[in-house]
Chain A
Amino acid sequence: MKVLQIISTAYRATIEEQDDTIVWLTHAMTGAGGDFDVLLTGNAVNYIAERQDAAGLSFGGWRQTQPPRIGRDIAGLIEKNVKVYVVDDDAHDIGLTGIGEISGPSRIARAEIAGLFESYDQIWRW
């Protein structure tokens, strides 16, 4: 069973969780034998930006020692042979034109999403 994970919400509780929880879940489920690919859409297309840096937060005497590293985690999925697609229209809208991005994701036009669905048994939108 092959599943396409659509991730459209971005930076939701990523500081508290030290991860994007759906990117993390995809890693964990892939490790458990699941067959997943990822489509980044909406604000989540920004996850392919290279220099995301949330380090240095502190509240009073508390300091975050393990900030989220979402770009690294996306690259990690690609290393595990999870295909990562990015909706080109959304990326273009926010100035992601190919420079300063992690390598590996495949661009796909919004108009091509329907065709992409045909390759998957199930579509899980998060």
Chain B
Amino acid sequence: MAKKPMLTFVLMDAPFESARTTTAMRLLDIAARRGYDINVFAYEGAVYLPFARQTQHPNAVHGHDTEEENHPLPKDWVGALIAEAESRGGSIDWANCGLCVDERGAEECVSGVRRGTPADLVDFAKRSDNTLVIPTS
């Protein structure tokens, strides 16, 4: 039986700032649907991706109330991806860099996300088949 791949992704961008976030989530989705074991090291602004206090809002320019606008919230993406991976026999170990969390006040995050350190990234990378860093520029 072929060994299940393990991939690590390093993310840096805060939500709502860059197309890189969407591409990162698309990569995670592909890997999750395949049932891979996935590690995510969220560094710097990316620790806000799973921030629990993201809230939807209406959009007067679109003429939408909150429900109609159904604004995407990356925290929901993170939760959905964790659930998807598990439903397919895989996993997502999402570690927010702890110092980055502290300085940003981003402690409150969705379920399934934990606090981590650079040692986690070293461990992730050593155990993974591959690591992709998505830089912030």
Contacts and interface: CB of A to CB of B under 8 A. Distances in A.
Task: Tell me if chains A and B make direct contact, with any CB pair below 8 A.
Answer: yes
Interface of A: 1, 3, 8-9, 12-13, 17, 21, 25, 28-29, 32-34, 122, 124-126
A21 B135 CA distance: 12
Interface stretch (B15-23, B31-39, B65-73, B114-122): B114-122
B10 A12 contact: no
15 contacts: A3-B125, A8-B137, A12-B136, A13-B44, A25-B43, A28-B118, A29-B122, A32-B118, A32-B123, A34-B125, A122-B125, A122-B130, A124-B131, A124-B133, A125-B133
Interface string B26-58: 000000000000000001100000000000000
Given A28-B118, A124-B10, A1 B135 contact: no
Interface of B: 10, 12, 43-44, 103, 117-119, 121-123, 125-126, 130-131, 133, 135-137
Contacts, number: 44
Contacts of A13: 44
Contacts of A29: 118-119, 121-122
Nearest to B121: A29
A126 B133 CA distance: 7
B122 A9 contact: no
Given A21-B44, A29-B118, A126 B135 contact: yes
Nearest to A5: B133
Given A124-B10, A124-B131, 15 more contacts: A3-B125, A9-B137, A12-B136, A12-B137, A25-B118, A29-B119, A32-B117, A32-B118, A32-B119, A32-B123, A34-B122, A34-B125, A122-B125, A122-B131, A126-B136
Nearest to B131: A122
A126 B41 CA distance: 14
A45 to B, nearest CB: 15
Contacts of A34: 122, 125
